[in-house]
Amino acid sequence: MIKDINRYIDHTLLKANAREIDIVQLCEQAIKYNFYAVCVNPFYVELAKKILSKSNTKVCTVIGFPLGQNTTETKVFETHNAINNGADEIDVVINIPKLLEGDYNYLVNELKCIREVCTDNIVLKVIIETCYLDKDKIIDATKICEEIGANFVKTSTGFGTRGASIEDIVTIKNALSINSNVGIKASGGIKDRNFAEELIEAGATRLGTSSGVILMN
C-alpha cells in the first residue's frame, strides 16, 4: 500500500450543480485528510482560498473547461482572473480539435501565452483528454506540454468518454524526456484505492478524483 496517498490527491468537485455548501464540505474534507489540493470551478476559487488559507492544501481550478475550445484570449483572461482570485494551480484544457488536426503551432502558441501568465510558482497542468486521442496523438501532446514548460500532463477532464487508464500513464511517461520534471496527473474514473495505486505505480504523480474520501477510507 502506498503511504501518504492523500498527498497525491486533487480533491475535485466540478459538477454543474455544485453549491456553496458542497464546496465548503469539499474544503473541510481536504483539511481533514490533508489532500494536496482541491479542484473547483473558477467561480469558487475565492471561497476555497478563504477556507484553506491556514492549511497545506492548494487551490486548483480549470480553464477552458471542459471542451478546450475557448479562444486563446479567453483562456488567458480566465487564467489571470483565477490567479488574482487565489488559484495556486491551473488545469487548462488543450484545444482538442487543433490537436486532432495536427495544428501544433497553434497549440504551442496558445499554451505559451498561458504559461507566461502562470508566474510566481503557479503550477500549470495541461489536460489533453486522452479518450479522444490515439497513442501517437498522446505522445505528440505530451511533447508539446513539455516544450511549453507545463508542470503536468493531465489525462482527462472527467467529462469525456472515459477517464484515465494505465496505458495512458505509461504512454505519457515514455513520451517524456529522460529525467523530465513534468509530472503526470491521472484523472477521471478513479473511484477505488487499488486503481489509484496502480496509476501511481505506472507513473502518475497526482490524482484528480472526486472520490478522495473513499480512497482514504
- 91, 125, 140, 168: the catalytic one is 91
The model's pTM:
0.97
Question: pLDDT at position 1, please?
Answer: 83
- Per DSSP, the three-state class of 150 is coil
Q: Which of 49, 75, 125, 185 is catalytic?
A: 185
Q: Is 140 a catalytic residue?
A: no
Q: pLDDT per position in the chain (217 positions), as tens?
A: 888 999 999 999 999 999 999 999 999 999 999 999 999 999 999 999 999 999 999 999 999 999 999 999 999 999 999 999 999 999 999 999 999 999 999 999 999 999 999 988 999 999 999 999 999 999 999 999 999 999 999 999 999 999 999 999 999 999 999 999 999 999 999 999 999 999 999 999 999 999 999 999 9
Ordered structural domains, the chain, with CATH = 5-216 (3.20.20.70)
Contacts of 5 (CB under 8 A, 6+ apart): 193, 196, 197, 200, 207, 215, 216
Give the end-to-end CA distance of the chain in Å, rounded to a whole number.
Answer: 13
Which of 214, 215, 213, 137 lies closest to 172, judged by CA?
Answer: 137
Q: Which ranges constitute the DSSP H helices of the chain?
A: 20-33, 45-52, 72-84, 96-101, 104-117, 135-147, 166-175, 193-202, 212-216
Is 192 a residue of the active site?
no
Return the DSSP state at 54.
T
Residue 154 bears catalytic tag: yes
Task: Quote the Cα angle for 173-175-176, to 5°.
Answer: 70
